[in-house]
Structure 1
Amino acid sequence: MVACSCPSSRSYMHSDSSRKSILSNLFQENKISVTGIAHPIQDTLSKGSQQRDIECDSLKMASSIPPQFKKEGFRHNIKGWLVVTATFIVNFFCLGIIFQWGNYQQLYLKVYAEETDAFRISFIGSIAPTTLLSTGVFLPPVIRRIGYRWTMAIGAILAPLGLFLARVLFGLGCGFVYSPAMALPSQWFKKNRALATGLASSGSGIGSLVISPLTEKLFETVGHQNALRVLGGAMAVGLLLATALAFSTVAPATSVSSNHHPQQEKLGYRELLSDIDFIFLVAFSALCYFGYFGPMFYVPQYTTYLGHSAVEGAALIAVMSGMNSVSRIFMGFMADRCGNINVMLFCALAAGLFTSVLWQFANNYNTYMVYCVLNGLTGGAFVPAVPVVVADIVGLENIQQGMGICFIATFFGNLLGPAIAGKLLQQHGWTAAIQFPGAITLFSAVILFSLRMKRSKGKIIMKL
């Protein structure tokens, strides 16, 4: 018997064929429907994959941020705050001793009255700050070769010796510690960079606050020559301690540091000077220092002119220095929130106005004290902001070169500013000596305003 000849078999086969057809149709329909559903599923999976890629990229970016930039409190950034302490000590001794030069100037005008004049004494006083800041342009190759700490160690030896031997050597030694030290806080802070730099640079005002009356006391007890020896010994101890605390995170002018800084472009001096924004900053640095040291150098002499003693003049230097320290901390705090250039502009403008107007009409001791307070609050606050703005414009990796150029730009202002004021005083009186630093500080504020408007593209209200 042949199964296929059986009607039941044919029915079964027909039924089976129908089932196959139905299954085939269902398969096609399901294939279509599955295909139709597959696109949104694939899109969802694709989006999920993209999201994971974004998260991975974010994690990679987060891991590329230096650890000290993630949390900047003392517990999480101990080395950063030790660096701030080191820079504070450097400012305390280097600029603290320079700022109280007015005490020596007043003394030398009495001791050597027949041999010299205010112009020559002021010129001698300006040698140290000129050498200090101008040295910075030559230091990047030295730092690149031997590192920050060993560069500062050279200065820690030369600067105290300079107090015994020659003021040029003192300025050179201070330059070897000051320029590297001022570049270090920016390497350890980002959110609070200006505040950290302000805290570090406040050492200059506190140093003058302490050293100025101490110097007058040493004059009375051991004489002016032994006073230099006492200051030199204390300075040697302080600078060696600062050198030991000088931790660095990045090698100058290199593309990648040992602590995984994001790669930045390595720039030479020619490339830096082709940046218009940086040119504005260099021009500001060149001009503002013509009026920076003069008001402080002439405090004892103007106090004597008002009929008061040199001791009271030293007290006013201490007042001005104390206000300077408070201002550098507060203005650093404000700069992190309102913008570095904005705060620099305000301080330069206010300092110029206070000098040109308030000092001009300070005909008694109390009014002059008010001027010293206000000038202390504004006159030096814009200076520590320069390294922070340099980092903003040229990048952290090029900060040492940028600072070196800005510091060398201050050469003529540091060297000639107080001396020109002294010559004007000698030939034309106090009005000319007062208006010179005031006017040139106001003009430097105009240049800074031009930089601000260029970077903000004309916007008046903007954090910058």
Structure 2
Amino acid sequence: MLKLREKSYYKWIIAFSSLIVMIMTVGIIYNVFTIFTIPVTEGLSISRQTFSLAQTLIFTATIFVNPFISKLVEKTGLIRLIRIFSVATPIFYFGFSFVNSTWQLYLVSLLVGISQCFVSMVPLSILLNSWFDKDIGLALGITFMGSGIGGMIFNPVVNSIIENYSWRHAFGFLSIVMFIFLVPIGLFVIILPPQMSQKEHLTTYQESETAASLNVETRASSAVEENNSYLKDRRFWIISLAFILDGVAGYSIINFVTPYFRDLGYSSYYAANVMAMSMGLMAVGKVVLGFVYDRTNVRFATLLAIFAAFVGLVALYFAQYPWALIFLGFGNFFGSPAGTVSQPLVTKGVFRARDYAKVNGLLVSFSNIGVTLTPIIANTIFDHSGSYRPHFVAMIVLMAICFALFFLVLPRAAKKDSN
């Protein structure tokens, strides 16, 4: 079956379909949200900190939902979940067009946050892992570049709709586009590999790795004995902390570009285009970073990404100078992709194959804990200081700590540690 899967052209259809799904989910829900900061806060007469809590609720939902996705997949089936929430997500997102109060904004955010978990990073990682044995880094990079492409395409479009119509029209437009693409792909395109059941995909990768050295009886007994052993591995907790820090600091490179550049005195058009540039570089960077993971090792690729993120944060601090855009671009290209590409590849490179779905889900959740804290921290600092620059100073320090943690824990050898 593995040979059949490797020869199948359909795995690349799955990869590019997953790319479109990421554009329509993470690309819109995460990476276009901040462009609504000023118009929504002015329209509803709320503070930026109050508005940022809506984004926080979206991320909070992922923290609590992602660790249970593997269990839900076992009970319900991956494809069934994707189909249900491909329809539900754009419907919930459409609710943003009608909010008139803070509690409505928060309710819609929570529903969107829960729903998108079942059609974005963790389910797509499981799906791709069931289709790809080779070039998994490239496949994940292609898929996850969708978040950057979504931001690159829709930030200028949404900015134009807001200026010419209203932010409510912009939310409605995004919802319709999301529905047009998500529903057909979720219902008719995304499938599991040939002859694979709804549940087998969670264990196929593990079996392919161990079949050469372990018989069936040994695998069955060791699975019971070693279940959840990764929780006793100090590397898991150090890596989890590192991803929390990367979530907090790394997301700051993208999340505040539009309001920050407007606060620096640039026009909304210029700020939206800087955001589009950032998203475009991040999108291409995800493919390149995935390729780097495939061709080098998890240590080199991860440290490269974290270093680039550090450079990007320093560039944001000096964003009033034109030369800073060059270094911001470097941070967007290699640093920002770590927020989505690195978790599944670090999981595969460090931990046992049988734990892939569980560990990856947890690492994504830990990363989202950091991402959840980002708007709260940044907008609280902004409300007290009137600037995002003190926030960037703090994030530079956190990213340096993140680099040190990955430097200490990631294996130096190209091969993953199987102990």
Shared fold by TM > 0.5?
yes
- When normalised by structure 1's length, the TM-score is 0.76
Partner of 2:363: 406
Identify if the C-alpha distance between structure 1 residues 255 and 217 changes in structure 2 by more than 3 Å, giving closer, same or farther. closer
Q: What is the Cα deviation at residue 371 of structure 1? A: 4.2
Separation (CA, whole Å) in 2 of partners of 1:257 and 1:443: 33
Deviations 1:140-167 (A, max 9, x none): 1211122111111222122112212311
**Cα RMSD (Å) of the superposition?**
2.6
Equivalent AA in structure 2 for residue 156 of structure 1: S
Residue 280 (structure 1) aligned with residue 238 (structure 2): yes
- 1:190 pairs, out of 133, 146, 164, with 133
Equivalent AA in structure 1 for residue 189 of structure 2: L
Identify if the C-alpha distance between structure 1 residues 320 and 266 changes in structure 2 by more than 3 Å, giving closer, same or farther. farther
- When normalised by structure 2's length, the TM-score is 0.84
Equivalent AA in structure 1 for residue 332 of structure 2: G
Partner of 1:376: 332
Secondary structure in 2 matching 1:184: helix
Residue 117 (structure 1) aligned with residue 47 (structure 2): yes
Identify if the C-alpha distance between structure 1 residues 425 and 80 changes in structure 2 by more than 3 Å, giving closer, same or farther. same
Equivalent AA in structure 2 for residue 66 of structure 1: L
CA contact (8 A) 2:62 2:365 kept: no
Bigger relative CO (Cα 8 Å, ≥ 6 apart): 2
The percentage of aligned residue pairs carrying the same residue is 18
Secondary structure in 2 matching 1:307: coil
Gaps of 5+ in 2: 96-107, 212-218
Separation (CA, whole Å) in 2 of partners of 1:401 and 1:130: 18
CA contact (8 A) 1:89 1:238 kept: yes
- 1:169 pairs, out of 98, 105, 111, with 111
Q: What is the Cα deviation at residue 412 of structure 1? A: 3.0
Larger Rg: 1
Separation (CA, whole Å) in 1 of partners of 2:4 and 2:275: 37
Identify if the C-alpha distance between structure 1 residues 125 and 256 changes in structure 2 by more than 3 Å, giving closer, same or farther. closer
Regions of 4+ moved over 6 Å: 257-261
Partner of 2:56: 126
CA contact (8 A) 1:255 1:266 kept: no
Partner of 1:421: 378
Alignment of 1:131-170 (within 5 A): 131-132=61-62, 134-165=64-95, 166-170=108-112
CA contact (8 A) 2:57 2:110 kept: yes
Partner of 2:315: 358
Separation (CA, whole Å) in 1 of partners of 2:15 and 2:116: 17
Alignment of 1:55-134 (within 5 A): 66-67=2-3, 71=6, 76-97=7-28, 98-112=30-44, 115-132=45-62, 134=64
Identify if the C-alpha distance between structure 1 residues 68 and 204 changes in structure 2 by more than 3 Å, giving closer, same or farther. farther
Deviations 1:316-362 (A, max 9, x none): 1110000001111111111111113321111112211331x322222
Q: What is the Cα deviation at residue 256 of structure 1? A: 5.7
Deviations 1:117-139 (A, max 9, x none): 22222222232233235421111
Equivalent AA in structure 1 for residue 190 of structure 2: A
Q: What is the Cα deviation at residue 259 of structure 1? A: 9.6
Secondary structure in 2 matching 1:190: coil
Count of paired positions = 385
CA contact (8 A) 2:206 2:354 kept: no
CA contact (8 A) 1:216 1:314 kept: yes
Partner of 1:385: 342
Residue 212 (structure 1) aligned with residue 155 (structure 2): yes
